[in-house]
Chains A and B, each alone.
Chain A
Amino acid sequence: MTRWKLPFSPWHLLLMPLALIFVLPLVQMVLTSFMSSAEINQFPPKLIPTSLHIEGYRHLFSETKALRWLLNSVIVSGIAVISHLVLCSMAGYGFARLKFAGRGLAFVLILATVMIPIQLLMIPTYLMFARIGIVDTLAAAFVPWLASAFGIFLMRQFFLGLPVELEEAALIDGCGRWRTFRSIVLPLAKPALTTLAIITLLWSWNDLLWPLVAISDDSRFTLQIGLANFQGMRRTEWSQLMAGNVVATMPLILAFLFAQKKFIATMTFTGIKG
């Protein structure tokens, strides 16, 4: 096993080009967002901007409602994450620990929903939301994100794996169910809650199809549909488009870079338990 000590393992020949293929387009995205239009349209193409131009960002925020879209995305994802954490942990606890009439049926129904895809639901959900008058509002974008079968299942699995003795002690001491849950169980559930928060943030922030269906007023757009539609209108404004892309991807990319271990654990969990 002396190979490890060699300065150059043959694996680098595979990994280095692959790593560049995966990361260079994103680097180019960031660099292009700081170029002027003239530089972008130059031939042959340039990778590095000659000087820092912030026109892309300036025009993006002055000519489009990108700031509004960003705020909308933050609201939708924020509500999605908070609601997921509250409702799914409660439901997960209920299904793991409490006995109540209809529990089995309710849980089977929840599991069954995992298989139903969005394209089957979008038509009736749109009609339903139109009837109650929330189409074209932010509520239409976040209501489907308030809770998910995946979240309930994740939290239930976690609580099933937690020893019951602590809770029993609290209950015998006269602590109610709710207080036991709040002050004993939830603090122990931090790893599962982090996983749930990351996955909900990732999925809700990047969602395109549903907000596209539910929202047509451009001041209610999320960033994803705002950019997608903006691109449809002005295909050539690359510095603006790339600036928009940076705004849309950087929050998650930075979160990923700072909490890489947690993200990877979350992705692994989705894979193994999902």
Chain B
Amino acid sequence: MAVTFAATPRAHPSTVPAKRGPRGRALRRGLTGWAFAGPATVIVVGLSIFPAVWAFFISRAKWNGIAPATMVGWGNYQKLLQDPDMIAATRHTLILTAIFVPGSIVLGILIAVALNQKIKLIGFYRTCIFVPYVASAAATGILANFVFNPQFGAANDILRTLGLPQSQFLENQHLAIYIICLILLWGEVGFTTVIYLAALQDIPRELVEAAVVDGASKWKVFRHVTLPELRPVTVFVAVWQTITAMQLFDLIYTTTRGGPLNSTQTVVYYIYELAFQTQRLGYGAAAAYLLFIVTMVLSLGVILYGRRRGSEVF
């Protein structure tokens, strides 16, 4: 097979002198190549392409995993589009995404700019802000339950000290999803900050200095020099965080488990319940496919929007 993959610039011909005929050598080279690349390739492709195709067939069946499956064509998909639980889960997921993605971008840029200053204690600040990122979602969720506990949690204690009314936080069905957003931001902002910090440090100094020489104010330099330079990174961060938010499960499982009154049920949590608590495998697989397609469309939308605005990151 002719290797045509364009992004492989420097694969060079083997320099081992030929011991056998040209065909034997090619065979030997092929075997060496597969010996190196084969194991990982088989694992990665075997554990994703094959199951993904199978998931599609499952999604077109009514199946509990034990009794024989009944093929229902697109029935599961049609039912999902009218399923009030699916619609609610989609709404919660979109609310989360709509707050979390811009939130983590704005906070990430703000904190990165602050951390890029040459001031005292900067190492301390950096450590503090990055550390939550390495804590697992499970641990973060359990900790959040403690901090936001209405009776003895620190959050209500602070409100009390400030003379503000107490809150039920995660136990309030109108508030819970926003608290989840806050917790998610707490855990993930470290990541966007690191990326923006690296991007800030990559901006050529001459660019900023030239603007300063031209008499631009600090704000103007930030607005017209720094921000445009950050745009490609922003496209990446937006896609990454959109995927994170659209696939949110861990934090829901360890805090509200979808409650109170289903107000924090996300799509992935719903899929988990469908497939592994109520054994509706076909219906769950269909929901997973729908989510996959919507996430892809959203990500592509973000990339295209970023392109139109002049970034060339993808």
Report the interface size class on chain B.
35 or more
Select A120's contact among B3, B52, B243, beta carbons within 8 Å.
B52
Select A208's contact among B117, B194, B250, beta carbons within 8 Å.
B250
- B135 with A253: CB separation less than 8 A: yes
Select A149's contact among B10, B44, B160, B268, beta carbons within 8 Å.
B44
Select A267's contact among B14, B124, B131, B133, beta carbons within 8 Å.
B133
- A4 with B118: CB separation less than 8 A: yes
Q: How far is the CB of A119 from chain B (nearest CB, A)?
A: 5
Interface string of B25-48 (1 = CB under 8 A from A): 000011111111111110111011
B 153-208 contacts with A by CB, 8 A: 153-154, 157, 160, 186, 189-191, 194-195, 197-198
- B131 with A256: CB separation less than 8 A: yes
- B138 with A94: CB separation less than 8 A: no
CB contacts (< 8 Å) of A99 on chain B: these are 3, 11, 13-14, 29, 33
- A100 with B37: CB separation less than 8 A: yes
Chain A CB within 10 Å, residue with most, of B35, B190, B194, B240: B194
Known: A44-B157, A128-B51, A263-B134. Contact between A231 and B198, CB under 8 A?
Answer: no
CB contacts (< 8 Å) of A45 on chain B: these are 152-154, 157
Q: Residue A107 at the B interface, CB < 8 A? A: yes
Select B41's contact among A25, A28, A110, A121, beta carbons within 8 Å.
A110
Q: Is the interface of A mostly helix, strand, loop or mixed?
A: helix
Select B288's contact among A120, A152, A171, beta carbons within 8 Å.
A120
- B289 with A164: CB separation less than 8 A: no
Interface residue stretch chosen among A48-56, A57-65, A83-91:
A83-91
- Chain A contact residues, CB within 8 Å of chain B: 4, 7, 9, 11-12, 14-16, 18-26, 28-29, 32, 40-45, 47, 87-88, 90-91, 93-110, 112-113, 115-128, 143-144, 146-149, 151-152, 160, 164, 168, 171-172, 177, 181, 202, 205-206, 208-209, 212-213, 224-225, 227-228, 231-232, 235, 238, 241-242, 244-245, 248-249, 252-253, 255-257, 260, 263-264, 267-268, 271-272, 274
Show 27 A/B contacts (Cβ-Cβ < 8 Å), sorted by A.
Answer: A9-B119, A19-B129, A22-B190, A23-B132, A25-B143, A28-B146, A29-B139, A43-B151, A98-B14, A98-B37, A99-B3, A100-B31, A110-B44, A113-B48, A117-B247, A120-B285, A125-B51, A164-B10, A168-B12, A171-B16, A208-B136, A208-B253, A227-B139, A228-B253, A245-B139, A267-B133, A268-B194
